[in-house]
Amino acid sequence: MSPQAENGKARIGLHSLAPARGSRRPRKRIGRGEGSGTGKTAGRGQKGAGARAGSKRRVRFEGGQMPLHMRMRKLRGPHMKKSMPFEPFRTRTQAVNLAALESRFQAGTEVTLELMRASGLGTRKEIPVKVLARGELSKALTVHAHAFSAAARERIEAAGGSCRIVED
């Protein structure tokens, strides 16, 4: 029996592999006469920088508009360009207001970070919690947080509670 024909079919192997029909297209031959569809200007249009030899479109080029990296504000820094990363020393905290503590906790409760998270406050992990003074507090609560605003600390202590700073 010949290797070519088994039950009348051609044998499949590495020698007969081919890409699927329609998956590969021949490259576009540019500048090969008017009849090719891409003759004369070779797909570059009429005039302008893109039609000239040696022209390259730069990455992030915005067509002559002031580029994004030049529109952004610059901060002081050690370089001549003075374009340090924005706000490198900003501290990121998540706010918890006194009104939220008032509505969620009973008088005399020791409000820890875990208890706050369980009640839907300060839910982002790894981000410090800061208690702010928006709203009123009429209950005595012992509040644990990474930071307190001065007004929040005053109001918590005026209501008979206390503030405990958490060190992580």
Q: pTM to 2 decimals?
A: 0.50
Domains present along the chain, CATH in parentheses: 94-165 (3.100.10.10)
| Arithmetic mean of pLDDT over the chain | 86
For residue 156, what pLDDT is reported? 95
Give the pLDDT band of residue 3 (cuts 50, 70, 90).
low
Give the pLDDT band of residue 1 (cuts 50, 70, 90).
very low
Indicate whether 46 pLDDT > 60.
yes
Which residue, 168, 156, 167, 158, is CA-closest to 110?
Answer: 156
> Which residues, including other chains, have CB under 8 Å from residue 133's CB and lie 6 or more apart?
97, 98, 149, 151, 152, 154, 155
